[in-house]
Amino acid sequence: MSTEVKIPALGESISSGVLSSWKVAEGTYVEIDQPIYELETDKITQEGLAEVAGVISFLAKEGDEVEIGATIANIDESAAQPTSSNPEQKEDAETEVEQEAPEPGPEVITTPTEETKAVVKEEKGEIVDSPKDDIPLSPAVRKILAESKLDPASISGTGKDGRITKADVLNAQKASPEAPQQVQSEPKPIPSSVSSDPDSRSTRRPLSPIRRKIASRLVEAQQTAAILSTFNEVDLTEIMALRKRHQDSFVKQNGVKLGFMSFFVKGVVHALRAVPQINSRMEGNELVENHYFDIGVAVGTEKGLVVPVLRDCDQLGFAEIEQSIVDYAKKARSGGITLQDMQGGCFTITNGGIYGSLLSTPIINPPQSGILGMHSIQERPVAINGEVVIRPMMYTALSYDHRVVDGKQAVTFLVKLKEAMEDPARLALGI
């Protein structure tokens, strides 16, 4: 009996994705709930689990774009489970020449009985005396030699007793223009617009689904909203002193550090209460004002920027906010973020300061009407009560949809945020 592996529905707006990788080899035995593939969509990266146990056969290749509901593999449930899956036994078995799968290309090394024994002993770390005319090679080296069609006699070995190592073969492969490069899968045909010259000064590759979505959303925001930015600066002396006084107790009690982000999340809620117009969005000819405070926090990953949402931040404590941010960051960078984690949200915070940004104009996250940009903290001279003092200062930027928010309201928002950050007691007193 064979069971089909189908791409499940991941959300109403997701119709397809790219099969970014198989997590198992074709023809292997998979267990129930074992991760077998990774699908990258324009919003999330999702792992697929085996629903049944059996031997898997692929119907799609890595890099293929597949539709929701498409069958990408079959699992043969009638196949018997291997009697031994011990990695050490498997590794030992692979060192035997008789059990190796035939490699494409011409035969490079002869394998008489004595040489086979020598190779196996070499893999086990034993010192052997090989025949004078033969070169003892490990299975990995033989595989690369067969693929690259290099003559082992032309390679100088740097290993023990002059043995040829994998690095020796790779170096010889680079030095030989005639030798084909080692590949992991069938080469894809090169479009006519892409140069096949190995010394080309540029490369061309398709955008990933998430990068395509990011690009589309940013262009949409620029084309559909009247985006304007306004700036202010915040003196973080009080917050830094507060963190220093209570950090050890906070960590001991909550198991997470007290960072700056929880203060800014609370500060944003404080400012949104004062300027509710920013906590709203346009829907056609109607203005929808939110009476809740779900704040998105931008997280950078290797595949792009994602914005998980902290729900009901007005009801969360500092420790809950910090722990939620840590958990979301781990999920985002491991590819475990879900669509539900990023849906909704009435305002977004992005912190370019962690990358060294001094000032920026962030783009709003539609259909929201505002986004706060945090930046690097720098010690700068400032005038306070007629005296010049050195203080840890941060520039803040509010980008907003001018169709919804007036300039006065945007400036008031940043002033309220500045007051709360410079006097954190306001957050507790609600003033």
Catalytic residue set: 402, 406
User: Which of 342, 345, 350, 344 shows the shortest CA–CA distance to 399?
Assistant: 350
DSSP letters for 199-228: T-S----PPPHHHHHHHHHHHHHHHHS-EE
Q: Which amino acid, one-letter code, is at 376?
A: S
- The two tokens of residue 237 are 């002396």
Would you mind telling me the total number of residues written for the chain in this entry?
A: 431
Say if residue 68 is exposed, middle or buried (CB neighbours under 10 Å; 0-12, 13-18, 19+).
middle
User: Which of 395, 409, 324 shows the shortest CA–CA distance to 362?
Assistant: 395
295-297/347-351 β-pairing:
parallel
Cβ atoms < 10 Å from Cβ of 222: 13
- The two tokens of residue 206 are 């398709």
Report the SS3 class of residue 19: strand
Contact 416, 430 (CB under 8 A): no
Phi and psi for 127 in degrees, rounded to 5?
Answer: -90, 125
Q: Which helix (H) or strand (E) holds 29?
A: strand 29-30
Place of tokens 């917050």: 239
Residue 299's beta-bridge partner residues? 306
User: Which of 331, 413, 422 shows the shortest CA–CA distance to 371?
Assistant: 413
Cβ atoms < 10 Å from Cβ of 259: 16
In the Cβ-directed half-sphere of 63, how many Cα atoms lie within 13 Å? 7
Q: How far is CA 63 from CA 71, 74, 185, in A?
A: 15, 18, 11
Contact 155, 179 (CB under 8 A): no
